[in-house]
Structure 1
Amino acid sequence: RPRALARPCPYPACPAPQAPGAARRPPARLSAEQDAVLGAVLSGKSVFFTGCAGTGKSYLLKRIVGSLPPQSTYATASTGVAACHVGGTTLHAFAGIGSGKAPLGQCIQLAERPGVRQHWLACQHLIIDEISMVDGKFFDKLEAVARAVRKRDEPFGGIQLIICGDFLQLPPVCKANEETKFCFQAKSWRKCIQINMELTEVRRQTDKTFISLLSAVRLGRCTEEVARLLMQTATNRAERDGILATRLCTHKDDVELTNERRLQQLSGEVHTFEALDSDPVLVKLIDAQCPVGSRVELKLGAQVMLAKNLDVSQGLVNGARGVVVGFESEQKGLPKVRFLCGVTQVIKVERWVFKGPSGVYLSRQQLPLKLAWAISIHKSQGMSLDCVEISLSRVFENGQAYVALSRARSLAGLRVLDFDPKVVRADPSVLQFYRQLRSHQLLTR
């Protein structure tokens, strides 16, 4: 029978409770590069900062969010999962103009509605993460809406922009017959961004061979050495201690089918955990932003992944892999998970809080676990994974192979199946954009 996890908090906007006497861990020190970006943001300039995968962009963004006044700062991202990482909402939910494909006058009317207009006026600092997946036409529409609603002629209506992402990763999602337009190709981009900055120090991987391989793949280069190293990984045993490699899939349907099928194949009782949401009517909206579902089904032997940082010092971080080794016998029947980092721990309910439409806070209480036989490349963006298996034969977008490969922490924890050098590709317009920034010395480190 599904288990109720905890009483819902009557105040959705309140911070997640902390254990009595629990000391707050001091934040890790920023690198010189990260500190320079934070300094530029705090000086009031509109900043775009970029960097390859694993350079600490998401971590820095969280520090930036914590350094700006909360009442006038809105953290957003192109996708719900990325928005959850920065404790915010999707850019579309913030904007309140739907898909943005309606004529400008209609978009302005939508943004003038009570609630939506209120946060457009309150916003002084707008953070946008995973900018590579935001459509350039949508960015132009937002910029015009901001000026109209705020009745100010400065770029973006005088809002400071803090924009983060890597245009060499996943591109905007568009229909087959539509041309991809990146944000840097938007008419308003150059007048909105005052400083471009780059993080270059890779923190996710430490193996120099793997770092240089990823650097080549990011730029769409597949040398003989890159191909040889990736083909060699096909024989890697990426499993350890009963924990199997997570398969990264290009299509979401493959993920759901794989996880459901593998769970069914396990013998034993299914343990079902139902989430407690602050507003059950808005379950679809919460689903879109929360990294865990409204229902988590587990069995003994289920391959799982942590969906939240629990204890960074012990390696219990977002993306950490484990296997369910038992369930508590008492009423809640919480799962006991053995992780690849060597820790075995009973996993308790966690709480996510994020902004919904019109600035309303929503929350979900659920186990911070999801099934991990498979995960989609889109959902993996921003994550570090311990052991990864990738089939690259169905890669269909520029940057997709790079995003998949760069989720792995090491070559030893990576297994690439059916590798084809043709899947390593980068968008020429993005390469040209970065070249121009460097040649005009507009990209500071």
Structure 2
Amino acid sequence: MYDTFGNYFYDLPSGEKKIKLAYFWQNFEYPEKELKKEMMGNRFLVIAITTYRNFSTKTGTKTKKWFGNRYRKKAIEKELVEGRTSIKWTDQQKQVISAVSMGRSVFITGSAGTGKTALIEHLIKTLGQKRYEPSNVFVTAATGVAACAISGQTLHSFSGIKHMKADRELLLQSVLSNKQACRRWKKAKALVIDEISMVSAKMFEDLEYIARVIRDVDEVWGGIQLVVGGDFFQLPPIIRPPDPLGKEFAFEADCWNSSFDLQVEQTQIFRQSDLQLIKILQGIRRGEIDPSDLECLEEVCCSKTKPDDSVVQLFPRIEDVATVNEERMEKLNNEIVVYTAVDSGIDKWKRQLGKGIAPDEIGLCEKARVMLIKNVKTWRGLVNGATGTILGFVEPEERDVTDICKDGLLPLVKFDSGQTMVVEPETWEVREGDVVRASRKQIPLILAWSLSIHKCQGMTLDRLHTDLSRAFGYGMVYVALSRVRSFEGLHLSGFDSSKIQAHPKVLKFYKNFVSEQYKEIEDDCAGKAHHISRGNT
């Protein structure tokens, strides 16, 4: 409740010890044990207690000064509730943001953990708020999981293409017969494509052709601004049957280079801080790891003893994931609470929600290992990939959750970071431009004893275990190992250096890519030097 001066006081049981906290404009009274429980690890606790020790509320002068500044109060209050969410962009990222703001098409690539997803999410907002109307910006991804993660739709869904095996003219006729697809193509001013590594050269070329014809604009992509992201060193496209011209990756498309005004490889890695681990992961990414690094990886991460059950196991095949999780649940033999997703919207759009990471139905129980599948409280580290253990279930007082759980219960999770939280339902959306076509309400948790390598793309894990003998295909070892933050959290078995592979075409693309970037830098420096020399004559 608030007093007459706008100070907030929590209702407390009588006789309970309180800590009075002064934070600029208002004084908080909060039970000591609850404060420590709820705020431990949060910078607010440190600021608040420090302020309390050095600030007297008797005069009231400072309180009045800050209380009078309504806008400052709201800003700080929002920071306390939501945390600091602003990102300090690197020079490379600023370059991309500037280019997109000026209407240029960009391709953003880089190693795992370089912030590609965060940058793309920011660019989506930039396009919809500063450059175009939100209804003219279409957000897509190559897979359902990636599309749901950015509240978009699959590239197939946006384009109206159903059968990629058909030739270009048949695909065009198929799209022309789809009124909604034609409307999307004509309305689009900006198109975002995430996880481009899983888009084939044929699909990229066909879509560019369809865009030009439907929009009747003789420019690349019919004049649509592109924002494309992904890392070709990660999971490749699945091509069946093989392309007759031998093309596989999107960068092999004839229109690839003409599609972009700027292609940037982000180099600053945020996920890991250990320089040796970064060096090893970069070598694995390129498929060329040094013998000394290989020896280090084997010594530090390979153990004959199996890690404890709290460590996430990564498998290349979904069948293995289901088997392990089911066995662990049966072993606990605790009462299961079932959560069933509630979908709304148009049926054909709702089908895409089933391809996302939020499950149709999930059974949880006490002591089950779980993982967040959506950012909940980023400033507290409760993000996509955070793992923990269910302590029990609680009945919420202020909301009804019987629509997703007939028992009306929510899981109480103690995360490995030490924080405890009641996990509430979240919503995933499928958007067509700025229109929400379908949404799913579900608990943002999955079982975390095991996980598929495909579904862990984009996640950051504190600890993982993977059997590399099961790995297959280019980039799979890199995707698995690059999820972890440190050597201490990485556990390997079945280590086989022959599984570390990078596709020769991808290596050649990035070699040329880097050469072009260096050439641009050298040309820029030479131009500046010439300008300076002319100025001195």
TM-score (norm 2): 0.75
CA distance in 1 between counterparts of 2:207 and 2:255 reads: 10
Residue matched to 1:295: 361
SS in 1 for 2:226: strand
- 1:14-413 to structure 2, matched below 5 A, reads 25-69=84-128, 70-112=134-176, 113-175=178-240, 181-232=248-299, 233-235=301-303, 244-279=310-345, 281-282=347-348, 283-289=350-356, 291-329=357-395, 332-355=408-431, 361-413=437-489
Q: Deviations over 1:76-102 (max 9, x none)?
A: 111111112222111111111113222
Q: Deviations over 1:155-190 (max 9, x none)?
A: 011111111111111110224866560000011112
Q: Deviations over 1:330-357 (max 9, x none)?
A: 6522111111111011111111112269
SS in 1 for 2:355: helix
Q: Deviations over 1:415-442 (max 9, x none)?
A: 0111001011111111111111222337
After superposing the two structures, state which structure 1 stretch, 226-235 or 365-374, moved more. Answer: 226-235
Ranges in structure 1 where 5+ consecutive residues have no aligned partner: 1-18
SS in 2 for 1:38: helix
Q: Deviations over 1:297-355 (max 9, x none)?
A: 10111111001111111110000011111111565221111111110111111111122
CA distance in 1 between counterparts of 2:391 and 2:503 reads: 44
SS in 2 for 1:362: strand
- Is residue 195–residue 231 contact of structure 2 (8 Å, CA) maintained in 1? yes
- Cα separation, partners in 2 of 1:444 and 1:271, compared to 1, 3 Å: farther
- Is residue 72–residue 125 contact of structure 1 (8 Å, CA) maintained in 2? yes
CA distance in 1 between counterparts of 2:256 and 2:327 reads: 46
- Cα separation, partners in 2 of 1:306 and 1:401, compared to 1, 3 Å: same
User: Highest Rg: 1 or 2?
Assistant: 2
Identity %: 38
- Cα separation, partners in 2 of 1:309 and 1:58, compared to 1, 3 Å: same
- Is residue 339–residue 363 contact of structure 2 (8 Å, CA) maintained in 1? yes
1:423 aligns with 2:499: yes
- Cα separation, partners in 2 of 1:57 and 1:68, compared to 1, 3 Å: same
TM-score (norm 1): 0.90
More RCO (CA 8 Å, sep 6+): 1
CA distance in 1 between counterparts of 2:208 and 2:318 reads: 32
Task: Give the total of aligned pairs.
Answer: 423
- Is residue 85–residue 379 contact of structure 2 (8 Å, CA) maintained in 1? no
SS in 2 for 1:440: helix
CA distance in 2 between counterparts of 1:238 and 1:148 reads: 58
- Is residue 284–residue 500 contact of structure 2 (8 Å, CA) maintained in 1? yes
Q: What's the CA shift for 1:239?
A: 6.3
SS in 2 for 1:327: strand
- Is residue 325–residue 338 contact of structure 1 (8 Å, CA) maintained in 2? yes
SS in 2 for 1:68: helix
Residue matched to 2:3: none
| More helix as a share of residues | 2
CA distance in 1 between counterparts of 2:184 and 2:261 reads: 24
- Cα separation, partners in 2 of 1:122 and 1:245, compared to 1, 3 Å: same
CA distance in 2 between counterparts of 1:359 and 1:329 reads: 34
- Cα separation, partners in 2 of 1:329 and 1:137, compared to 1, 3 Å: same
